[in-house]
Amino acid sequence: MHADLLPPPHARVPVRIRAGRGPAPRLKAGGLVPFTATDFPGRLAAVVFVQGCPWRCGYCHNPHLQPRTAGSPLDWDDILAFLRRRVGLIDGVVFSGGEPTMDPGLGAAIAQVRAMGYQIGLHTGGTHPRRLAQVLPDVDWVGLDIKADFDDYARVTRVAGSGAPALASLRALLDGGAAFECRTTAHPDLIDADGLLALGRRLADMGVRRYAVQVFRPQGCADEALNVRGPSLRDWPGAAVADTLAALFDSFELRRDA
């Protein structure tokens, strides 16, 4: 993603206030990274990790965030207080997870953070396309994880029918105004080189302009069956596959440390 595709740092836009009879649900935060230069293209940011995910991808590096706990491990008011102290020091805040679109408090949380002048980044697997569409007007950049061909999602997520909401989420991004990239974590036991090429062609045909393949890394992965092949993936999927994918998109990256 090129930085010039994003609005200027601290760009001010109207904040949409949630209409309703009662207070907005409070975000359940499972973690906070105070500073990152890699999770929001062209921006210095903090990352809020939202608690809970309905999918069970074997290569997940945050499996402790998958359960939707009764309470919030981190107090949202404490996070807001921290972010107020960081105004002027960082450009944006990324909501990651877990799966942030699973949380009914996401929209209100984004509005609170945006009111401080921050730009908003969102990392999502697209599990809840309706909520994604609701928050998109207040989001500056989205990283959408594309697990596999949409008909073969359950092989990765271990949840039947999970490809349908992911496809709907991608369509919402294509119809929306936020800058976004699609990215696929690739392991040959889950999607082989031919599968990557077929997926890339499908995404390009749909109108995706920016795509990244993130080669599986075993660090933090609890699935030992996937970890066994980790060291052998240093040169996978090969230059020919990368070159073919690069020709399909305005921007393509092969990432080995993501």
> In angstroms, rounded to a whole number, what is the distance separating the alpha carbons of residues 57 and 241?
24
Q: Tell whether the model's pLDDT for residue 87 goes beyond 60.
A: yes
244-256 pLDDT per residue, tens:
999 999 999 999 8
Higher-pLDDT residue of 234, 10: 234
Per-residue pLDDT band for 12 (boundaries 50, 70, 90) equals very low
> In angstroms, rounded to a whole number, what is the distance separating the alpha carbons of residues 146 and 137?
21
Per-residue pLDDT band for 231 (boundaries 50, 70, 90) equals low
Looking at domain 18-255, which of 3.50.50.60, 2.30.30.100, 3.20.20.70, 3.30.70.20 is its CATH number? 3.20.20.70
Mean of pLDDT values over 23-32: 89
Lowest mean pLDDT among 20-29, 80-89, 97-106: 20-29
> In angstroms, rounded to a whole number, what is the distance separating the alpha carbons of residues 128 and 133?
9
Instruction: Write the CB contacts of 221 (distance below 8 Å, at least 6 apart in sequence).
Output: 58, 59, 60, 61, 227, 230
Q: Tell whether the model's pLDDT for residue 25 goes beyond 90.
A: no
Contact 49, 81 (CB under 8 A): no
Where exactly are the structural domains of the chain?
18-255
**pTM for the whole thing?**
0.89
User: Going along the chain, which residue ranges are E strands?
Assistant: 29-36, 45-50, 92-97, 119-124, 141-145, 179-186, 210-215, 251-255
The neighbour count for residue 92, using CB atoms within 10 Å, is 25
> In angstroms, rounded to a whole number, what is the distance separating the alpha carbons of residues 27 and 204?
34
Q: Which residue has the tokens 């807001």?
A: 80
pLDDT for 135 equals: 98
